[in-house]
Amino acid sequence: MLKRLILSREALLFGAIAILCALIATRFPGFVAPSNLMRVFNDTSPLILLAIGQMIVILTKCIDLSVAANLALTGMCVAMLNTAYPGLPIAVILVIAVGLGAVMGMFNGILVWKLAIPPIVVTLGTMTIFRGIIFLVSDGNWVNSHEMSASFKAFSRSEFLGLPMLSWTAILAVIVFTLVMTRTTLGRGFYAVGGNPHAATYTGLNVGRSQFWAFTISGALAGLTGYLWVSRYAVAYVDLAGGFELDVVAACVIGGISIAGGIGTVGGAVLGALFLGVIKNALPVVNISPFWQLAISGAAIIIAVIVNARAGREKGRIILKSAEKPA
């Protein structure tokens, strides 16, 4: 049991993050200071939230490439709402953000479920649609800091026990979805649908409905992240979080979530996000241009897919060997 825990994907990834931090600390010791590590976690919190939603979608043999566009559209809508009604309570804005994101996720889910359109085609299309809607509702204009109310900007930055609310939101999401995925019928259904859709159907699970709820959850988390992102950076514009969907997919794949579906954990998605977060924050420290981040994310996806594929083949050989022994 202990050996299996030590050799698990999560443990190995945690070790890789620790080694990476140690190497960076040789050039910049302040990087591993607790206060700086807390800032790195806070910077990575939006990626963690989106990676959790993407993980659930990937578990069902789908993919959601519209999460960043969902984030941007929701962020723009709540920012414009705040400028029109600055006295609107933050709780109401949070509900609207989550609801709007969930509706966009439902739209993806319905197209995949009812029309049987491949998820990658659906979400590539909706990614473009959502970006276009941002331009239509904003007329291409930005919503800047001076147009936002103080309370709107303060929520994600306000601290509790030394951590900003953005970080606490990510921590809460990790706890909630760990319980959902390990202790509820819905969570087990996601694994069953992705692991063996035909067997899941025979046991009474509706594959399309499970995928629909996976997209809905992913959309809701993207909507929540949209408000938190705009609140923290105090700006909303058409290209907000452009290309961020690549980082989200990379975080999942690096964290051991299988693109083939049915395999992965919330912890793996979080560690994958933190791995990319450490790299992103370390690039300026080691004098590497941040523009290399996309190339690093792409390379990380390819390497992780190769590692996952080799691990799958190795498991297959072990099963065959164990089957041969009794004969």
pLDDT tens string 217-270: 999 999 999 999 999 999 999 999 998 998 999 899 999 898 888 899 999 999
236 secondary structure, DSSP code: B
Q: With respect to residue 64, please indicate whether it lies within any of the assigned structural domains.
A: yes
Closest by CA to 46, choosing from 71, 78, 64, is 71
pLDDT tens string 173-223: 999 999 999 999 999 999 999 988 888 888 889 999 999 999 999 999 999
What CA–CA distance (Å, rounded) separates 176 from 77? Answer: 26
Q: With respect to residue 276, please indicate whether it lies within any of the assigned structural domains.
A: no
Tokens describing residue 282? 């370390």
**Reported pTM:** 0.90
Domain residue limits at 107: 45-238
323: Cα within 13 Å, side-chain hemisphere: 6
Q: Is the predicted pLDDT of residue 272 greater than 90, yes or no?
A: yes
Q: Is the predicted pLDDT of residue 137 greater than 60, yes or no?
A: yes
pLDDT tens string 157-178: 999 888 999 999 999 999 999 9
How many domains is the chain built from? 1
3-class SS at 235?
coil
Q: With respect to residue 223, please indicate whether it lies within any of the assigned structural domains.
A: yes
- pLDDT on residue 301: 73
Q: With respect to residue 211, please indicate whether it lies within any of the assigned structural domains.
A: yes
Q: With respect to residue 102, please indicate whether it lies within any of the assigned structural domains.
A: yes
Average of pLDDT values for 145-149?
94
What CA–CA distance (Å, rounded) separates 29 from 21? Answer: 9
Q: With respect to residue 244, please indicate whether it lies within any of the assigned structural domains.
A: no
Average of pLDDT values for 132-146?
94
Average of pLDDT values for 84-111?
97
- pLDDT on residue 29: 86
pLDDT tens string 43-80: 999 999 999 999 999 999 999 999 999 999 999 999 99
- pLDDT on residue 282: 84
Q: With respect to residue 133, please indicate whether it lies within any of the assigned structural domains.
A: yes
pLDDT tens string 289-320: 767 766 776 777 787 777 766 665 544 333 33
